[in-house]
Amino acid sequence: MDCSWNFKGKCCIVTGAASGIGKQISILLAQSGAKVVLVDIDAENLISATNACKEVANVAPLSIVADVSKQQDVMRMVESTVAHFEKIDFLVTGAGILYRTQFLDIELAEWDEVMNTNIRGLFLCNQLVVAQMLKQGEGRIVNIASVAGRSMSLIGGAHYATSKHAVIGLTRHMARELCQQGIRVNAFCPGATSTPMIHDNLSAEQITDLKPRIPLGRLAEADEQARVIAFMLSDAASYLNGACIDSNGGSVML
């Protein structure tokens, strides 16, 4: 992976770090000199992501198994990070789940599960991390939304699209409220990306049918998306606040 960012001395929490875009941005940050905190509910795949970060940085990152929808887990995440690294410079919220259930078939329990992870969990991570960033006087946050938050999704169900619209709304409000206190908040809206979420929910034939709908003619790779997030965290994006950066190969809607 080409590395052109210098995040030496910065501490970044990445949720959803065990796979997909979360794993790739963790690796890129570690390669760029950051002190990385990998957070995920998937303990087994978190070990693999941790080892990948250690391999590129020669320093083991802090790994935390946590369910972001649980306040106590998020509190433990923040407390462990501060105890280990004494600060939190960056937050990337990559934790999310997707179901393809048709609207009339969505049961309340499934609706709540999606909302608990995709928006309650993201809210908790943002709120508790921001409390620490305010003590420091600065911080940068990238909330991972989706092209579904810009319009709708042909991959996920209505609950997934709704949660991603909420991510964008929360991000924009936070950006306006917190920027005067040194904290910049932006949303990242990836299109279809070759990650376990896509491959677990679509057949090979469905993925093939999806590609012609993307002007570039292919799915994004997770490391391509990670590079956009790295830019958003970098000093090069110093005037970026409350923005929603699309990285979807030219797709207005999937």
Q: For residues 64 and 222, what is the distance between their CA atoms, to the nearest angstrom?
A: 22
Q: For residues 60 and 167, what is the distance between their CA atoms, to the nearest angstrom?
A: 31
Residues with a catalytic annotation lie at 160
Q: For residues 228 and 220, what is the distance between their CA atoms, to the nearest angstrom?
A: 12
State the CB neighbour count (10 A cutoff) for residue 158. Answer: 18
| Contact assessment for residue 20 and residue 193, using Cβ atoms and an 8 Å cutoff | yes
Name the amino acid, one letter, at 201. Answer: N
CA 24 to chain centre: 10
Could you tell me the two tokens for 126? 């943002």
Residues 6+ apart with CB under 8 A from 149: 161, 164, 165, 166, 167, 168, 187, 189, 244
